[in-house]
Structure formats: C-alpha cells, structure tokens
Structure 1
Amino acid sequence: MMMVSGIAIAYFFSIYLLVLFVAVVFVFWSMCRVKSNNKFRKLDQLRIPEFIKTRYLALYPEIEESKFNVIEEGFKDFLGMHLRYKTAYVMPSYAVDALWHLLIDEFNPYYQQLCISTLGYVLSHKAHEKHPTQAQITLYQAQWMQTWKSACLLEQQDPERTCQLPRIFRIDQNVKWKTAQAYELKKLKQNYMQWKNKQLTDLSSTPITFVESTSIGSFSSSSTTDVDTRLHDSNDSHISDSSNSCGSCSSGSD
C-alpha cells in the first residue's frame, strides 16, 4: 500500500513539474513576444528628422520630395527584417542604401541612437568584395535568399508563392532611381526554392556563418541569383562589429 502511495506521489509530482515547466516557458515566451511587439510598434512610429530628409533630397535632387516617405518606409522595413530575425542581409534598394549611408556618414550619433532604440544594438554596414572568392559568393547567395525570405515574411507573404515583390524590392522602380535594379518575381521565387532545397539536401556541409549586412553586391556568373553586377562600394568607416556570433547585426546584445 505504501509503495502504491509512493508511486502515486511521484506521478503527481512529475505532472506538477511538467505543468510548472510549461507555465514558465509560456510566461517567458509571452514576455519575449510583448517585447518584440513593443519594438515593432516603436519602429512603426519612427520618423526620419526633417533635416536629414532635406540633406538627402539635396544630395539626390532627382528624387521627388513626395517619394522620400517611400524610401523611409523601406529603411524601416530593413530594420524590421533584422528585428524579426537577427542575421546578415543584403540591401536590395539603392535608394534606401543611400539613406543608410547618409545616416552613417553624416549623422552617425543619430544613427547609433536610432539603432539602439529600435533594435537594441548598432547595425553595421559592409560592402561586398569587388572580387569575391567562391566561398564569399556562396555567402552572398545565402544573404540574398535570407533577404528575400525575411522581406516576404515581414509582409506576411510566402517567399515561394507570393504574387508581388516585397516593398523594399520595389522601391527603386517606384522612386525612379537612376540605377534601379529590376527584380523578376518569378526568378527570385525560383532561386529561393532552389537554394532552400539545396540547404535541405546538403546538411552534411559546413553551415554558413553570416557575417555582415551589406549593400547591393557583385556576384559572378556562377551565382544562382540574378543581381546587378555593379558593386555599390561603401568604404564604410563606421562598421561596429559584434563580439558575438552574429557579427553583422550588433555591437551589443538585446
């Protein structure tokens, strides 16, 4: 009888521990979700100061003033991609990249404060190599596909089945940027599916380590992604690399 009682007590105690564990996990998940939602809400409310807008339009007079809001929203989308999933991405828009450069080069204190307040860390910037090695090309391909995936998911689109380009991929055409990249929706989806399938069938290979978020880069003809062969070289002197494994994304922790 005592043995049966002991077994019953042990059983109910194990159930209690399981329920307690689930409750702790749920509370932790809820807190993280609230924190994430608050960050997205703050990002949504972000407005680039008027003096920065004025400087941007002075540097790029071909851009209509009414179009700056589109570029601003594209930059917020780029931050949102990092907020959704911290890894390295390629900047798909020359117009947004120009704003990114302007913030780093001429308004760096504001840029750092903006990153800290929205992301919790300073987002670094690095241009692609002009003459990339095969390993770098593979890395860039992965960054392009991660960018496509995250941009789609940010707008609640399926990267394999979406019927339209995410906003950040449409901006250059929208604002009539002089070197606008014309992306093909069908080709991007095909490239993404090919890349995804390769990841699933190549699990034994060395995992890709994402290093730095970059501007539009230059790929060789062996690349599986159709991108502009012009390199937008930043020569950025404000790169702030992380001490953790995600060197692209932070100079601090969440």
Structure 2
Amino acid sequence: MTRFEYLLMRVGDNIRLIAVGAWALAFVGIFAAVWRFHGIWLFYLFCTVVLSVLVLQWAQSMHRRHIREAPLPRFLQRKLRETYPHLSPRDCELVERGLRQFFLACVHSNRQFVAMPSRAVDALWHEFILHTQAYKHWCRDALGFFLHHTPAEALGPKARHNDGLRRAWYWACKEESIDPKAPSRLPLLFALDAKFAIPNGFTYVPDCSDIGQKSDAGGTGGGTYCGTSFSDGSHSGSSGDFGGADSSDGGGDGGGCGGGGD
C-alpha cells in the first residue's frame, strides 16, 4: 500500500468527522449565498455529499484489499499447528483464509458486532492478538480500528443473541457468491471446524433438511447447526436485515468481535 493510499484510507476512517465539518461549512455557505447566488448552495451540498461518499468507498476498498492481500505473520501457522498438530501446512493456509474472511465481515459490518463461528479460526486469531504490536498495526491498516478478541460461539435459541453470527454468515456467504438464505454449500469460515475435525468445534451444514429434526439450538442434539437457521425467522430473527441488526453486545452463548476504538 502506497503512502498516498494509506493517507486516503485514514481520511476515510475519520469520514464522520470530516462529513460533519463539511456539512457545517455547507450550511454557512447556504446562509451566505442563497439570496445572492440562487441555487449555488445546492451544488455546494451535492459536491460535499459526493466527495464524502467517494472518500468512504475508497477507504473501504483499501481496507478490503489489505485484508485479502497483506501477509499475516508467518509464525501464526506454526502456532496453530502446535494447538492442532493434525493440521497440515495446507490446512493452516485454509484456516488463515478463514480469518481473512472473518476480518472482511467485520469491515462490511461497519463496527457492528460480528461473532466468530469457528474454533480453529478463533485459535489463529487469538495467537495473532497476543503479539500486540503486529496485531495493532494490522487492525489499523486492515480495519481502521482495533478489534478486540472474544471467544467463538455457537448458534443460540434467542434471536437477539445471534445477530453477530448472522452478520458473519451473511458476509462470508457474499464473499463466496453464496445465497445466504438458500445456501447450496457452506462458506469457508463455517466449514473449517468440521472439515478438520477440530475438537469441540462447531459443525454446520447448509440446509436444515440435511440433518433432519432441529434442536432448540438450531441444529441436532449432536451439535450440528444449519445455515438456513440464520434466515428462518425463529432462531435468528428476520432475514430482511441480514448483516445489519443491532449489536448483541456479546450476549448469548459466548463472545464475538466488537468494533471498539483503540
């Protein structure tokens, strides 16, 4: 990332403050010019809005690019194999891709709560955050804010407690061009624990019909959960606000990731 791109990204991170200042300046211009210049204030407001939107979109695109392309510390995969010795180097690369998918969901969710659905990815994330300086710099360049770590969680019976998982599901599906309401397969982030037989991991299948009768937790009594539970209206709330429900503030079966500042 060039210095110019980084500066633009930092501008985007503070877009709310910039927009407030720009709007204040615009209204000053209204009172000064509306009677003399007839309509120039509308053009002024239009330019302010357009500039704010463009800067924000540029900043978000830079964050997404950094998440997808910037290398993660090489020691993380070694640490992951110490936790799960049965994983191969290729397996660890897939878990790293899952962590990137999770970070992308956090960026898309605009600092709203996003829960971690995978114990394997959670272990990698936890190792990363222990190295505070490297993690702080990553958060700055990839997210624009410091992302605090809290444990992985499973789908719960109360709709308001599943908002964070629903955001993770929605954006992980979108990243892989999967319909989140009618998935034909699982996005990587939700498939890893079962794929690698992670102890006490969370097992998902795309459709509830694949596992028969659902339990109160949205899956079977054996701990299997289904993607369609995120949009069935009973356990996960309305499917109409996928990715945009209010934060559950870490309530329910576990934690998630919050979007607080430094």
Give the TM-score of the pair, scaled to structure 1.
Answer: 0.67
- Who is 1:75 aligned against? 99
The answer to whether the 8 A contact 1:63-1:176 is kept is: no
Does residue 32 of structure 1 match 2:56?
yes
- Who is 2:228 aligned against? 189
- Residue 83 of structure 1, CA deviation: 0.9
List per-residue Cα deviations over 1:224-250 (Å, max 9, x = no partner): xxxxxxx7x99xxxxxxxxxxxx9212
List per-residue Cα deviations over 1:18-49 (Å, max 9, x = no partner): 33322321222111111111111111112222
- Who is 1:153 aligned against? 174
Using the alignment, how far apart are the partners of 1:150 and 1:42 within structure 2? 17
The answer to whether the 8 A contact 1:84-1:154 is kept is: no
- Residue 156 of structure 1, CA deviation: 4.1
- Who is 2:115 aligned against? 90
Does residue 101 of structure 1 match 2:126?
yes
Does residue 178 of structure 1 match 2:199?
yes
Compared CA separation, residues 191 and 33, structure 1 to 2 (3 A): closer
- Who is 1:62 aligned against? 86
The answer to whether the 8 A contact 2:118-2:192 is kept is: yes
Using the alignment, how far apart are the partners of 1:198 and 1:154 within structure 2? 18
Using the alignment, how far apart are the partners of 1:167 and 1:39 within structure 2? 20
The answer to whether the 8 A contact 1:75-1:96 is kept is: yes
Compared CA separation, residues 60 and 185, structure 1 to 2 (3 A): same
Task: Specify which of 231, 237, 259 is matched with residue 249 of structure 1.
Answer: 259
Compared CA separation, residues 44 and 197, structure 1 to 2 (3 A): closer
Using the alignment, how far apart are the partners of 1:199 and 1:31 within structure 2? 28
Compared CA separation, residues 209 and 90, structure 1 to 2 (3 A): closer
Give the TM-score of the pair, scaled to structure 2.
Answer: 0.65
- Residue 178 of structure 1, CA deviation: 3.4
- Who is 1:164 aligned against? 185
Using the alignment, how far apart are the partners of 2:41 and 2:162 within structure 1? 46
Where in structure 1 are there 5+ consecutive unaligned residues? 1-8, 201-206, 219-230, 235-246
Using the alignment, how far apart are the partners of 2:52 and 2:107 within structure 1? 18
Compared CA separation, residues 209 and 38, structure 1 to 2 (3 A): closer
Compared CA separation, residues 198 and 160, structure 1 to 2 (3 A): closer
- Who is 1:3 aligned against? none
List per-residue Cα deviations over 1:199-220 (Å, max 9, x = no partner): 88xxxxxx844324x9xx73xx
Task: Specify which of 21, 43, 56 is matched with residue 67 of structure 2.
Answer: 43
Compared CA separation, residues 198 and 57, structure 1 to 2 (3 A): closer
SS at match of 1:183: strand
SS at match of 1:116: helix
Using the alignment, how far apart are the partners of 2:94 and 2:59 within structure 1? 27
Letter in 2 for 1:248: G
Give 1 or 2 for the bigger CA radius of gyration.
1
- Residue 146 of structure 1, CA deviation: 2.4
After TM superposition, list the pairs within 5 Å mapping 1:196-207 onto structure 2.
196-197=237-238
The answer to whether the 8 A contact 1:210-1:248 is kept is: no
The answer to whether the 8 A contact 1:172-1:180 is kept is: yes
- Who is 1:203 aligned against? none
Cα root mean square deviation, aligned: 3.3
Runs of 4 or more above 4 Å deviation: none
Q: Percent sequence identity over matched residues? A: 20
User: How many pairs are equivalent?
Assistant: 203
Using the alignment, how far apart are the partners of 2:168 and 2:231 within structure 1? 10
